Structure 1
Amino acid sequence: MDFPLAKRLAPLLFCLSLASGIAGAAEFESETCTIEDEYSDLTGTDVLRAAKEGHATAQFSLAWNYESGSEGFKQDETKATQWYQKAAEQGHVCAQFNLAHAYENGTGIEIDEEKSFYWYTQSAKQGDSDAQYNLAVSYEEGTGTKQDYAQALVWYRKSADQGDPDAQFEVGNFYAKGYSVKADPKEARKWYEKAATQGHEAAFDALEAMD
């Protein structure tokens, strides 16, 4: 998926097993995230100059250009990650997400689960629903942090409240199986229905299983 000012990649599909335990935890996902300001549309030497001057949006744009090999920049994942880092340190929410993703996958930098967790946390605290979802997965699986189902549910719920259907499905799973909360089929159904309304196939299956 191509997007000039966006988080990387299309959403990854997932399905949490309802058979037993947490072993079938959901996968990480990512969505677009566009921030616009006076530096958003700069290209070529203009974006490079603005990035070097310390403008976070330009740094993010430059990072994306290096990552995608666009706007006349040769693809270079290492340089991309370096510029994401600069923007992330200035609080750029999308750069924080992409930096977390880079640390998670070893894109232009060595894999570091703890740093990935840290940057997902920073982005999630700024209200990014996809970062909130990914942070929930980190807590659920114990990736880069101690496994904590209660915190996983907290962050799934934050993302679900913003309308993310995958997160809504996960909240339904937690209530269906009683992960960190008392099992509540009625509450589970409510969240499955929210996800199903948005076309989430696994949510449809979960609802059918409850009938």
Structure 2
Amino acid sequence: MRHAFPALLALLLGTSLNLAAAEFEANPCDLQDAYSSLEGQEMVEAAEDGHVSAQYNLALSYDEGNDGFEQDAVKAAEWYAKAAEQGHACAQYNLAVGYERGLGLDVDLGQAAYWYQQAAKQGDSDAQYNLAVCYEEGSGVEQDYSQALYWYRKSAAQGDADAQFELGNFYRVGKGLASDLKQARQWYRKAAEQDHEGAATALEELDEEADGSSAQES
């Protein structure tokens, strides 16, 4: 699966990730209130008083090690959990990643799938994609291609190129549905238009297969 706590996984893997955890296509958790702009001790006090936007921002501060807070995966996970339990979609997503990757938490794929689902239901396209992967692979949930398709469609409809590519794969091989190369092309094309290399390669392969079939028929 992709994505994780924005700064911590980048340090673990040495890769370039999306460092803005709240920047999702659907933006379901762009919560601006009297507590969302607090910093330092005021943010801590608001978080301790149960204000969800402060809890999430405090989690991010521990996650990324900024705003004067030392990076601490355990504390980040604790505050993501508090915000997640209050329905904060981005906190739910990051908590899921924490359970999946073991960032400040013991690995628990069942909990990862649960929290991906909570965020996915609120329209988070990254959570929808990761939940689809859970169902496709049977990670933390019983393998279910129909559910994988459902959540890939949700994510793809929001323009997620990886989800569009996976839909193309499902249609190409007939995973959980009848094979449909026309639909496969359609989804590969959508992903390729967003510079998805795998989708571009898949389109080339389909063209080569079609040319080969035509040559044999002639």
> Out of 82, 92, 97, which is 2:93 matched to?
97
Q: Match of 2:164?
A: 168
What percent identity do the matched residue pairs reach?
Answer: 56
1:130 paired with 2:119, answer no
Gaps of 5+ in 1: 1-5, 13-28
In the superposition, the TM-score normalised over structure 1's length comes to 0.85
Matching residue of 2:174: 178
Q: Secondary structure at the match of 1:203?
A: helix
1:48–1:62 Cα contact (<8 Å) kept: yes
Residue 207 (structure 1) aligned to one of 200, 203, 209:
203
* Matched-pair contact (CA < 8 Å) for 1:7–1:94: no
> In terms of Rg, which structure is larger?
2
Task: Name the CA distance, whole Å, in 1 between partners of 2:203 and 2:8.
Answer: 26
1:69-93 per-position Cα deviation (integer Å, ceiling 9, x unaligned): 1111111111110000000000000
Give the length in aligned residue pairs. Answer: 190
- Which structure dedicates a bigger proportion of its chain to helix? 2
Q: Would you say the 8 A contact 2:136–2:148 is kept in 1? A: yes
| Secondary structure at 1:120 match in 2 | helix
Could you tell me whether the CA contact under 8 Å between 2:8 and 2:64 is conserved in 1? no
Q: CA RMSD in A?
A: 2.1
Corresponding residue number in structure 2 for 1:33: 22
Aligned twin of 2:141: 145
- Residue of 63, 66, 70 corresponding to 1:70: 66
1:115 to 111, 116, 131: 111
**Secondary structure of the structure 1 residue equivalent to 2:195:** coil
Q: CA deviation at 1:10?
A: 11
Structure 1: 4+ residue segments shifted above 6 A: none
